[in-house]
């Protein structure tokens, strides 16, 4: 049995606690939060779990094996670092840290201490994204040509991070897992409509080799909720609508056929349009799958599918996006 502590019991923390409580090989022994009100909610729901307003109670507790961090982004680095330094495995909310430098440092710290460092890229553990990743890896789509996502709604305005760090981070974690390619450069544009606040509307383009391009449209100020991703391949194309409970993924047998005629100069481009197919998607809660994977990695010395390296790649794109957005779209190269 693995003893887990959770830091942060605000919006996402309750889901993490519940899933580690339900996972057969872990027990949640302590929850820390700065809010007494939040801790009361823990106690009334789970009388057996200890609560504290001091994270040191977690670091100093030798009975705790792993720490799960669900606090604001700007606290991730220090909390995760302290947890690793006190010898605990760490699972940290996305984005992993506020800068790539911080992310790199966490990776080194985990590596040198032989501890598991996992980033909570929850979407990677959904049945839909795993299905899409399989289709891409098995070559079902042919060459992937573009990834195009719209993630908009009348959402909670954040004060410390802009809409890219808040919403596009989900797409970046999916892109990272599904495309599995090195991003080369980023161009981002956006606008704030409340003085002194971060951008609430933003657009992000990521360039890859081989003419692959990804684009993410995020908006906290939209009248309708949309969670729709198109993935265009040379053979087939996918529409992934996370708000569709049943037909979440649709695979279209559509594309173009390029013919280079010999005797004319002009390329001929023909259309191909066939059947559509919507596979059944595994319905297990993503967080349960993820919690078990974290436990498995710790017990059996495995590397998480969403390890520190994956978290770092996402943070690098976020950093570059912030840089580009300041220059109204000027490209930021990724090293």
- Chain residues in the site for its own copies (CB under 8 A): 145-146, 148, 150, 152, 154, 157, 159, 185, 187, 189-197, 201, 203, 205, 207, 211-213, 215, 217, 219, 221-224, 230, 232, 234, 237-239, 246-247, 250, 252-256, 258, 266-267, 269, 271, 273-280, 324, 327-331
Cβ proximity to its own copies: between 37 and 224 the closer is 224
Cβ proximity to its own copies: between 306 and 324 the closer is 324
CB of 280 to its own copies, least distance (A): 5
Structure tokens at 315: 């943070």
Instruction: Please return the burial class of 243, using the count of CB atoms within 10 Å of its CB with bins 0-12, 13-18 and 19+.
Output: exposed
Cβ proximity to its own copies: between 101 and 197 the closer is 197
Strand partners, 164: none
Structure tokens at 69: 């961090």
CB of 6 to its own copies, least distance (A): 20
Instruction: Please return the burial class of 200, using the count of CB atoms within 10 Å of its CB with bins 0-12, 13-18 and 19+.
Output: buried
CB of 24 to its own copies, least distance (A): 17
> What is the Cα–Cα distance from 315 to 94, expressed in whole angstroms?
9
CB of 153 to its own copies, least distance (A): 10
Q: Say if residues 187 and 333 touch (Cβ distance below 8 Å).
A: no
CB of 314 to its own copies, least distance (A): 20
Instruction: Choose among 169, 167, 174, 239: nearest CA to 201.
Output: 167
Cβ proximity to its own copies: between 149 and 173 the closer is 149
Cβ proximity to its own copies: between 1 and 194 the closer is 194
Q: Say if residues 232 and 239 touch (Cβ distance below 8 Å).
A: no
Cβ proximity to its own copies: between 67 and 141 the closer is 141
In 123-162, which positions are buried (b, 16+ CB within 10 angstroms) versus exposed (e)?
bbbbbbbbbbbebbeeeebeebbebbbbbbbebebbeebb
Q: If you write DSSP's letter for every residue of 41-105 in order, what string do you get? A: HHHHH-TTSEEES-THHHHT-TT--EEEE-S-HHHHHHHHHHHHHTT-EEEEESS--SSHHHHHH
CB of 317 to its own copies, least distance (A): 14
Cβ proximity to its own copies: between 21 and 81 the closer is 21
CB of 327 to its own copies, least distance (A): 7
> What is the Cα–Cα distance from 41 to 34, expressed in whole angstroms?
13
């Amino acid at each position: 049995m693995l003893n887990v502590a959770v830091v942060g019991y605000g919006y996402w923390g309750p889901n993490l606690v519940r899933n580690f409580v339900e996972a057969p090989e872990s027990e949640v022994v302590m929850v820390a939060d700065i809010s007494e009100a939040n801790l009361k909610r823990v106690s009334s729901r789970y009388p057996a779990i200890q609560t504290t307003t001091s994270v040191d109670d977690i670091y100093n507790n030798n009975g705790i094996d792993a720490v799960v961090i669900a606090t604001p982004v700007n606290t991730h680095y220090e909390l995760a670092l302290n947890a690793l330094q006190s010898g605990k495995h760490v699972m940290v909310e996305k984005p992993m840290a506020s800068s790539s430098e911080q992310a790199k440092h966490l990776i080194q710290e985990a590596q040198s201490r032989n501890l598991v460092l996992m980033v909570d890229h929850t979407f990677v553990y959904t049945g839909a994204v795993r299905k899409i990743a399989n289709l891409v890896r098995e070559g079902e789509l042919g060459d992937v040509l573009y990834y195009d996502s719209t993630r908009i709604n009348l959402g909670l305005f954040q004060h410390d991070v802009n809409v890219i760090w808040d919403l596009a981070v989900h797409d970046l974690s999916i892109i990272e897992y599904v495309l599995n390619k090195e991003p080369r450069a980023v161009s981002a544009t956006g606008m704030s409509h409340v003085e002194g606040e971060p951008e609430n509307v933003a657009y992000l383009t990521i360039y890859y080799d081989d003419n692959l391009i990804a684009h993410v449209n995020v908006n906290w100020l939209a009248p309708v909720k949309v969670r729709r991703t198109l993935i265009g391949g040379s053979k087939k194309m996918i529409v992934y609508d996370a708000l569709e409970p049943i037909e979440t993924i649709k695979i279209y047998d559509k594309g173009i056929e390029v013919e280079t005629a010999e005797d004319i100069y002009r390329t001929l481009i023909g259309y191909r349009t066939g059947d559509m197919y919507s596979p059944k998607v595994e319905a297990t809660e993503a967080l349960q799958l993820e919690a078990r994977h974290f436990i498995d990695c710790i017990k059996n010395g495995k590397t998480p599918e969403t390890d520190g390296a994956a978290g770092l790649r996402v943070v690098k794109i976020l950093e570059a996006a912030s840089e580009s957005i300041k220059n109204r779209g000027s490209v930021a190269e990724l090293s």
